[in-house]
Chain A
Amino acid sequence: MRAPGTELPICLSDVTVETHGVTILDRITLALGSGPPTVLIGPNGSGKTTLLRIAMGLILPSAGTVTWGGRESVAPVRRAIVFQHPVMLRRTAAENLRYALKVSGRLPRKMYDSRIAELLSLVGLSEFGDRPARTMSGGEKRRLALARALAGDPAVLFLDEPSASLDPAAAKVVEDVIRTVAARNIKVVMSTHDLGSARRLAGDIIFMHRGRVVETGAASTFFNEPHSDEAKIFIRGDLLV
Chain B
Amino acid sequence: MLARRLLIAAAAAMLSFPALAQDKSIVVASTTSTQDSGLFGYILPLFKNATGISVRVVAQGTGQALDTGRRGDADVVFVHAKSAEEKFLSEGFGVKRFPVMYNDFILIGPKSDPAGVKGTKDIVKALTAIKDKGASFISRGDRSGTNIAEIKLWTIAGIDIGKDRGPWYKEVGQGMGAALNIASASNSYVLSDRGTWLSFKNRGDLEIVVEGDKRLFNQYGVMLVNPAKHPTVKAKLGQQFIDWLISPEGQAAIADYKVNGEQLFYPNAHDRGA
Do A and B touch directly, given a CB cutoff of 8 Å in the complex?
A: no
Which residues of B are interface residues toward A (Cβ below 8 A)? none
Which residues of A are interface residues toward B (Cβ below 8 A)? none
